[in-house]
Chain A
């Protein structure tokens, strides 16, 4: 292994671990203010949305909100299936399958 890559990887590992461990440890030492405590329940939904929306609306590093964007349709099909069937596997499988089909059609 090249030394510069070893250094890079160790640095990346260090900063990644620090971001992951920081609040686990900090929240033991510091009592969270009530306001922060109340805001915690919004974090999962907010983070999940930031992980999902860019992949759908910015598929190739450019904004694509046209009706020809197959990711939007696939996301709607996934969400619709999840709401109707309440079955996560059905939603995931139908969503991916619809994208594969839509890409050949559109």
Chain B
């Protein structure tokens, strides 16, 4: 457990820290437009630290939707973190519980993507908590700073996501996804998940699509693996 891997995690997360900038700005701007003050906008980024949930929340606040419903929607949109936790847990099983309480707070999409990629590659350093901590710290810093700037700028600038910068996140996630597609089965899992996510998003109201598409694709991948094994044995 080399503590210097904190900086490796930070470095590997750098593209996401940059890609996050337009989103943090947009969140701050949207929050200000929804009528939240600077303290409230920042308090949400500090405490919740979940981009897509915060976007949804400020949008719902501006529509005067009740807080219980917003909290429930937050739960739905964050259900994917349960699967991320499940996927990381074998690598973290030897750590003290105290580490898990800390690392869990920072398990955002970007940190999950970078960390699972690093742990899967292994190289004798799978499960180093300092790597994940560094990655989370980088995203947290970028998220807080850009939320703050967005909140101050408020409506004095245009929505940065309207320029085409909203592609920064899909592009950065693609840079992690593409190298993981090493077999026909992984390609199929990707396609099943992506296509069903789009279908569920359009067909089912609410935020169920992420968890439903992921479960469907994971089940399909596992089934394919078992069927192929039985055929060859």
A-B contact count (CB 8 A): 262
Cβ of B104 and Cβ of A21 under 8 Å apart?
Answer: yes
Q: Chain A residues near B30 (CB, 8 Å)?
A: none
Cβ of B167 and Cβ of A52 under 8 Å apart?
Answer: no
A11 vs B194: C-alpha distance in the bound complex, in angstroms? 30
A53 vs B166: C-alpha distance in the bound complex, in angstroms? 13
Contact with B along A61-86 (1 / 0, CB 8 A): 00100000011001100110011001
Contact with B along A43-70 (1 / 0, CB 8 A): 1111111111111111100010000001
Q: Chain B residues near A70 (CB, 8 Å)?
A: 164
B30-69 contacts to A, CB under 8 A, are: 36-37, 39-40, 43-44, 47-50, 53-54, 57, 61, 67
State how many angstroms separate the Cβ of B166 from the closest Cβ of chain A. 7
Q: Which chain B residues have a beta carbon within 8 Å of chain A's beta carbons?
A: 15, 19, 36-37, 39-40, 43-44, 47-50, 53-54, 57, 61, 67, 70-71, 74-75, 78-90, 92-93, 97, 100-101, 103-105, 107, 109, 112-113, 116-117, 120, 163-181, 186, 189-195, 197-198, 201-202, 209-210, 213-214, 217-219, 221-222, 225
Cβ of A8 and Cβ of B67 under 8 Å apart?
Answer: yes
A38 vs B174: C-alpha distance in the bound complex, in angstroms? 24
Return the contact of A22 from the options B82, B167, B191 (Cβ within 8 A): B82
Q: Chain A residues near B192 (CB, 8 Å)?
A: 46
Cβ of A20 and Cβ of B81 under 8 Å apart?
Answer: yes
Q: Chain B residues near A91 (CB, 8 Å)?
A: 171, 174-175, 178
Q: Chain B residues near A7 (CB, 8 Å)?
A: 67
- A16-B50 contact, Cβ under 8 Å, with A92-B19, A95-B167: yes
18 residue pairs bridging A and B, Cβ less than 8 Å apart: A4-B67, A12-B70, A16-B49, A44-B117, A46-B192, A47-B80, A48-B180, A49-B190, A49-B191, A56-B170, A63-B202, A71-B170, A74-B167, A82-B175, A83-B178, A89-B175, A91-B178, A96-B165
Q: Chain B residues near A11 (CB, 8 Å)?
A: 67, 71, 74
A6 vs B47: C-alpha distance in the bound complex, in angstroms? 10
Please name the 10 residue pairs, one residue from A and one from B, whose CB atoms are nearest each other, closest first. A53-B194, A23-B85, A88-B175, A42-B221, A21-B104, A27-B89, A49-B193, A13-B47, A49-B194, A43-B87
A54 vs B169: C-alpha distance in the bound complex, in angstroms? 12
